[in-house]
Amino acid sequence: MPGKKILVIDADVASQKFVARHFTDQKDEVIQAGSGKEGLIHAWRDHPDLVVIDPTIEDITGEDLARKLKQDPRTANMPLIALSGDPSAARVKSCLDAGFNDYIPKSGQAMPRLMETANRLLGEASILTKQGGFLMVFQSAKGGTGTSSICANIAMNIGQNQPEARVVVVDMVLPIGSIASIVGYEGPQNLVTITDMPAESAAPNFFRDALPLLKSWHFNLIAGSPDPESSNHLKAARIGDIVSGLKESYDYVLIDIGRSHSRITMPIVLHADLNILIISTDISTVSITKTVLEYMKGKGVNPDSIFTILNRAVGLEGLSKVEAEKVLEIPIKAAVPYLGSNMVLASNQHRPFSLKFPTDTASIVFQEAAKEMSTLARNLRAG
C-alpha cells in the first residue's frame, strides 16, 4: 500500500537504512529512529501508519515499547511488526503477548515476508474506519446453505429499494467463486485480476467506473476466482486496500465469504457494519453455527452486528425457527421458506428471485430483510 508513513526503529543504522529503502521503493514515507525513546517521540508526534521495531534495542525493550504504544490512545491501533535478530521461541511469544501484530526473524527471506505482512496490516487498518459505504459480510458455518444466492438477492433488493444508492457485491469465496454463475457474468475481470493490478491503478475511481454493472440486479460486481488454480495467485495483501477503495466508492459493499473464516477474511468480518450469518435447518449445521458464533464473539465481533437468516434450503425437514433459536441462543432475524426448484430456476436464468417470482413469500422475505439490514447498519453506525 504505497503512500503510507512507516516508522523504523532499529539501533543498527545499516539495518535501518536497508529496511527503509524497501518501503521508499514502493513510495512510502519512512521515518527512522535509532532508539526506543526516539521511536516513541516519532510515534506520538508523527502518527505513522505502521511501525517496524527491532525488539533487541537496549534503552527500552521491544516489549515495553509495544506496551507503551498500545496503552496510549494516539497509537493504540497502530500495527506493530517485530523484525528481530533474536529467533528464540520465548522472544517471539513475549513480543506477541506485548502487542506486536507479527514477529519476523532477520534472515535472507525476511524482507519479502516483512513487505507482505506490512501491506496486509495496512490494508486491514484501512478497513477499521466506520466511514464510507456500509460493509456487509455474508457467511456460513457450512457449505450448501445458499449463502451466495441470498447475498446476490439481498443486494438486488437493496439496490431496487434505494435506486439512488450505489451497491457492489464482492465474491470472496475460495477456491472458486459462485456469484458470477448466478447473475450471468462471463467477463474476464475478477477478484484475482484486480489484486494483481498495481495499487495506483486500482484506486477509488477505478472501482466507481470500471466494475461491471448488472442492470437487472441493481449492483456492480467483483466476481470470484474462476477456478482453483487462479485462486493460488490471489494477492491477499491487496484485499484490505480493495475493500477500503470500495467503501469510498459505494454506499453498500456486500462481500460473500462463504464458510471461509481465514486470515484474509477475518479482518473484514471483525470490522463489518453487519455480519450476515446464513443457517440451514439441519441440526449439524446449527450446531456448527453456534461454534462459529462463539468464535466470532470471542474475536470481538459486536453481537448486535450479527444478522441471522434461516434458509430452508434442503427441504421441509429439519429444525424450526424456534428450535434453531434455542440451540443458537440468539434470535433469528429472517427465515426463508423452502423454495423447491424456484431458486434453481431463477439462478439458471440469471434472474433475481424477486423479479422471477414477485408474489412468492421468499420475495417478501428478501425485500424486508434488505430493509432491516440497511436500517440496522445505519443505527449501529450512528451509535
Question: For residue 138, is pLDDT > 90?
Answer: yes
What pLDDT is stored for residue 204 in this prediction? 85
Each residue of 90-114: pLDDT tens digit?
A: 999 999 999 998 999 999 889 999 9
Question: For residue 172, is pLDDT > 90?
Answer: yes
Question: For residue 202, is pLDDT > 60?
Answer: yes
What pLDDT is stored for residue 94 in this prediction? 93
Angle, helices 89-98 vs 62-71, to 10°: value is 20
What pLDDT is stored for residue 102 in this prediction? 92
Angle, helices 62-71 vs 36-46, to 10°: value is 20
Which is more confident, 349 or 382?
349
CA distance 203 to 244: 10
What pLDDT is stored for residue 315 in this prediction? 66
What pLDDT is stored for residue 244 in this prediction? 87
Each residue of 48-69: pLDDT tens digit?
A: 999 999 999 989 999 999 999 9
What pLDDT is stored for residue 316 in this prediction? 67
Mean pLDDT score across all residues of the chain: 92
Taking the domain 5-127, which CATH number applies? 3.40.50.2300
What pLDDT is stored for residue 129 in this prediction? 59
Residue 275's SS3 state is strand
Angle, helices 321-328 vs 283-298, to 10°: value is 40
Burial of 278 per CB tally in 10 Å (0-12, 13-18, 19+):
buried
Question: For residue 121, is pLDDT > 90?
Answer: no
The DSSP secondary structure of 52-117, one letter per residue, reads EE-TT-SSS-HHHHHHHHHHSTTTTT--EEEEES---HHHHHHHHHHT-SEEEE-STTHHHHHHHH
Q: Which range (1-5, 197-201, 210-214, 219-223) has the least confidence?
A: 1-5
Q: Which residues pair with 167 in a beta bridge?
A: 252
What pLDDT is stored for residue 143 in this prediction? 86
Each residue of 235-294: pLDDT tens digit?
A: 887 888 899 899 999 999 999 999 888 878 888 998 899 999 999 999 999 999 999 999
* Domain 134-382, second-level architecture: 3-Layer(aba) Sandwich (3.40)
CA distance 53 to 76: 16
Please state the domain extents for the chain: 5-127, 134-382
What pLDDT is stored for residue 298 in this prediction? 85
Determine the average pLDDT of the residues in 137-154. Answer: 94
**What are the backbone dihedrals phi and psi of residue 265, each rounded to the nearest 5 degrees, phi first?**
-95, -25
Same fold, 5-127 and 134-382: yes
Extract the C-alpha cell encoding 328. 443458537
CA distance 181 to 179: 5
What pLDDT is stored for residue 2 in this prediction? 62
Each residue of 315-350: pLDDT tens digit?
A: 667 889 999 999 999 999 999 998 888 999 999 999
What pLDDT is stored for residue 160 in this prediction? 97
What pLDDT is stored for residue 314 in this prediction? 66
**What are the backbone dihedrals phi and psi of residue 252, each rounded to the nearest 5 degrees, phi first?**
-135, 130
Question: For residue 370, is pLDDT > 70?
Answer: yes
What pLDDT is stored for residue 130 in this prediction? 62
What pLDDT is stored for residue 280 in this prediction? 92
Burial 95-107 (b: 16+ CB within 10 A, else e): beebbbbbbbbbe
Each residue of 215-232: pLDDT tens digit?
A: 999 999 999 999 999 999
Binned at pLDDT 50, 70 and 90, residue 128 comes out as low
Which is more confident, 72 or 257?
257
Binned at pLDDT 50, 70 and 90, residue 31 comes out as very high
